[in-house]
């Protein structure tokens, strides 16, 4: 008897399924009512997150990211407050920095700059001292009157009236 029932089921079920119009059946289903009965948390608990992440092409995702917009959203003050400056400085290889720095050139430029300034100061003092001595000699020798402003070849002659 069981065999006959199975044979009938094997014959009738395919005929019944073939007789059903699936599109009409789907149109009659209220999707919102079905979704209200679905426990989303239970569905998500069954999802293998690691397998899902393995299927994601992160390069494609990153290609869609706008770096300017991302940086604009960052709290730079909060980010910098988390930076341990002392630890950062400990990582600096000062020997490598000094090796890549042209200290001799810097010292030479700064020394020549100081020497140039000192020489300019001496020259300025010499010019002032020269003028002082000239005025003193003129007083001692009793010279009064107009003195030329410089050598005749360098100073333009005054036009005759």
CB atoms within 10 A of CB 138: 13
Residues in the chain: 161
Query: pLDDT of 20-33, one tens digit each?
Result: 888 888 888 898 99
Question: Rounded mean pLDDT of 5-19?
Answer: 83
Nearest-5° angle of CA 61, CA 64, CA 66? 125
User: Does residue 41 register a pLDDT over 90?
Assistant: yes
Q: With cut-offs at 50, 70 and 90, classify the pLDDT of residue 55.
A: very high
- Identify the weakest region by mean pLDDT among 36-40, 66-70, 127-131, 148-152: 148-152
**Integer Cα distance of 94 and 96 in angstroms:** 5
Share of the chain above pLDDT 90, in %: 24
What's the pLDDT score for residue 156?
67
Query: pLDDT of 82-141, one tens digit each?
Result: 999 889 888 888 888 877 777 777 777 777 777 778 778 877 777 777 777 888 888 888
Q: With cut-offs at 50, 70 and 90, classify the pLDDT of residue 160.
A: low
Handedness of CA 23, 27, 31, 34 (dihedral sign): negative
3-state class of 159 per DSSP?
coil
- DSSP letter at 158 equals P
3-state class of 22 per DSSP?
helix
């Amino acid at each position: 008897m069981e065999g006959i029932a199975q044979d009938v089921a094997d014959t009738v079920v395919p005929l019944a399924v073939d007789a059903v119009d699936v599109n009409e059946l789907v149109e009659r289903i209220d999707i919102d009512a079905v979704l209200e009965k679905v426990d989303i948390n239970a569905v998500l608990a069954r999802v293998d997150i690691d397998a899902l992440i393995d299927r994601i092409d992160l390069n494609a995702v990153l290609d869609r990211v706008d770096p300017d917009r991302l940086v604009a959203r960052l709290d730079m003050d909060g980010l910098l407050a988390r930076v341990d400056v002392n630890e950062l400085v400990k990582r600096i290889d000062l020997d490598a920095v000094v090796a890549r720095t042209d200290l001799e050139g810097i010292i030479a430029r700064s020394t020549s700059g100081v020497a140039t300034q000192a020489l300019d100061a001496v020259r300025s003092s010499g010019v002032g001292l020269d003028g002082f001595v000239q005025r003193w000699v003129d007083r001692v020798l009793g010279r009064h009157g107009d003195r030329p402003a410089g050598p005749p070849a360098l100073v333009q002659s005054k036009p005759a009236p």
